Amino acid sequence: MTQNRKIIHIDMDAFFASVEQRDNPELRGKAIAVGFDGERGVVSTASYEARRFGVHSAMPIATAKRRCPDLIIVPVRHGYYEEVSHEIRKIFQEYTDLIEPLSIDEAFLDVTENKKDIPLAKDIAIAIKEEIKEKLHLTASAGVSYNKFLAKIASDYQKPDGLFVIHPDRALDFLSDLPVEDFWGVGPKTLQLMHRMGIYTGGQLRKVSRSHLREVFGKSGDIFYNFARGIDDRPVVTERVRKSVGCEQTFLEDISIPSKVIIELYHTVLELVDRIHGDGFEGHTLTLKIKYGDFTQITRSISGNKVLRRKDDILPLAKQLLHQVSYDANHPIRLLGLSVSNPNPQEDNDEPQWYEGWLDFE
């Protein structure tokens, strides 16, 4: 275990909502949600004032309004948020070039060797937070530790505008009392399995043998075994290889008539082909995602040796996957999505990618 690294995780606080409140004084201190204000709109980001009412990202706008009758809905401005994110990145680059973005509003920084020769990572995190607040009038939360796993947990620990350090000497004690649902990547289904095993805290997880964790969770068992011991030796990766290209469509009304579903599938294939050409992506696996009117979700995938880049390659496979899906008037489709992945099928790529819920099982 490498404990001499200095890793910072920076997470912008309610990023989209905070940008909107910064730019519009009339929104400050009020409950707002950024998203599409329509029947099928969902919340992209909620301000902390709205979160007090239980409003959160990915929640249907209609539900958010019921929970918070005075909620103000603000349209999404993705291009503008990208510009602000670029300004934040410039601040990071004043301290290190080892930056691994996770999304538009969060990133890892390896400051073991930093451009300003600041000895303590905590002081670098403080400086970055202060510079973001001074230059951009936004707040960020920072986590500091000796690896990415712990730094990520630390950044979530005292939000908003927080700073938390997990020192190597205190990591095991900290993890012992930490609920397993707070472990980065543990989603609802994984949590349910752990609870069935009597695992509720990191300390209890640490008592389970590696072999038993492998038996229950497969290769992810090794990851859980290491996490419980504060082990994560992966470096901060400055350039991430794109793993997939996809698109999806939420319908204004649920659909169940086969001809309508085929038409929407066709349009989704055309959009996917455009994105593939725009990104120059080459993948070998096609995945169909279906979300039903009751918000349950399934995926179906098919792989081959042929690169999927043209409509004539993708549409037949998409139809084949659709035939594996059942739907009717009592179980209509709310959302349909397609993605192409698996750029290097010959590679045995066991390295997990760090996204929320990546350990959760289908």
What per-residue confidence (pLDDT) applies to 165?
A: 98
Two tokens at 192?
């349910």
The dihedral through the CA atoms of 139, 145, 148, 149 has a sign that is: negative
Helix ranges (DSSP H) in the chain:
15-23, 48-51, 61-67, 78-93, 121-136, 148-155, 171-177, 188-196, 202-206, 210-217, 220-228, 258-279, 311-322
| CATH-assigned architecture of domain 170-228 | Orthogonal Bundle (1.10)
For tokens 């291009």, name the residue.
79
Distance CA 12, CA 123 (A): 18
What per-residue confidence (pLDDT) applies to 240?
A: 66
Q: Measuring CA to CA, which residue among 220, 120, 135 is closest to residue 167? A: 120
Distance CA 7, CA 121 (A): 7
Longest dimension (CA), the chain: 64
Is 83 labeled as catalytic in the residue annotation?
no
DSSP sequence for 103-123: ETTEEEEE-SS-TT--S-HHH
Delimit the CATH 3.30.1490.100 region(s) of the chain.
Answer: 244-341
End-to-end CA distance of the chain: 31
What per-residue confidence (pLDDT) applies to 3?
A: 72
What per-residue confidence (pLDDT) applies to 351?
A: 42
For tokens 């001809």, name the residue.
259
Count of CB atoms within 10 A of residue 254's CB? Answer: 18
User: Which one of the listed residues 106, 131, 181, 282 is annotated catalytic?
Assistant: 106
Residue 338 DSSP SS3: strand
Distance CA 95, CA 342 (A): 34
pLDDT per residue rounded down to tens, the chain (362 residues)? 467 899 999 999 999 999 999 999 999 999 999 998 887 788 999 999 999 999 999 899 999 999 999 999 999 998 899 999 999 999 999 999 999 998 899 999 999 999 999 999 999 999 999 999 999 999 999 999 999 999 999 999 889 999 999 999 999 999 999 999 988 768 788 899 999 999 999 999 999 999 999 999 888 889 999 999 999 999 998 876 678 888 988 888 899 999 999 999 999 999 999 888 877 888 999 999 999 999 899 999 999 888 998 999 999 999 999 999 999 999 999 999 999 998 876 554 444 443 333 344 33
What per-residue confidence (pLDDT) applies to 1?
A: 47
With 0-12 CB in 10 A as exposed, 13-18 as middle and 19+ as buried, what is 308?
buried
Q: Measuring CA to CA, which residue among 64, 85, 75 is closest to residue 34? A: 75
Distance CA 180, CA 199 (A): 8
> Which CATH entry fits the domain spanning 244-341: 3.40.50.1220, 3.30.1490.100, 3.10.350.10, 3.40.1160.10?
3.30.1490.100
Two tokens at 264?
């929407």
Count of CB atoms within 10 A of residue 165's CB? Answer: 18
What per-residue confidence (pLDDT) applies to 4?
A: 86
Provide CB contacts within 8 A for 217, sequence distance 6+. 190, 193, 224, 359
Delimit the CATH 3.30.70.270 region(s) of the chain.
Answer: 1-166
- CATH number for the domain whose boundaries are 1-166: 3.30.70.270
Containing 253, the helix (H) or strand (E) segment is strand 244-255
Q: Measuring CA to CA, which residue among 61, 80, 89 is closest to residue 23? A: 80
